[in-house]
Structure 1
Amino acid sequence: MLAIDLPEDIQMRLDRLAKATGRPKSFYAREAIIEYLDDLEDAYLAEKELAEIRAGKAKTIPLEEVMREYELED
């Protein structure tokens, strides 16, 4: 169970969408969280990896090498 306090304009948009489609507001809230959570996880993992690279703790591979290894060259 999760309770969230939304800004009034977002709440109104969610209400309108739910009424127009006959689905509960919780359906759309759940869908939005699932979609956005994927993006957040990707962003935080990328930031962590970038910090590792900048600290010299992670190795980078030149794009040309990746293209060659996976036979993606023109």
Structure 2
Amino acid sequence: MSKQTAIRLPDETYERLQILADRTGRTATYYIRQAIETHLEDLEDLYLAEEAVKRLNNGESEIISGEEFWRGLDD
């Protein structure tokens, strides 16, 4: 299932998108979806990393060595 949404693009961005779509035979929608999915993954990774740093700084988490990590899996 998918949802539809609308966005406004600056003229230059829209023109670049159309040129890319025309040259490659793909749709502008394809490239919009690809760009959003790729950037969204990056944003999610960044958010999770920032949250991990906050937990470390607040003393809610701790850093352990690889050896300690693997030893903990044997328990």
TM-score tier by shorter-chain length is 0.7 to 0.9
**After TM superposition, which residue ranges in structure 1, 4 or more long, deviate above 3 angstroms?**
none
Letter in 2 for 1:56: G
Query: Residue 45 of structure 2 corresponds to which residue in structure 1?
Result: 42
Residue in structure 1 matched with residue 20 of structure 2 by the alignment: 17
| Count of residues in correspondence between the two structures | 65
The 1-side partners of 2:39 and 2:9 are apart by 16
- What is the RMSD of the two structures over their aligned residues, measured on CA atoms? 1.1
TM-score by length of 1: 0.80
| Alpha-carbon distance in 2 for matches of 1:3, 1:41 | 22
Shift of 1:55: 0.6
- TM-score normalised by L of structure 2: 0.79
Give me the identity figure in percent.
Answer: 40
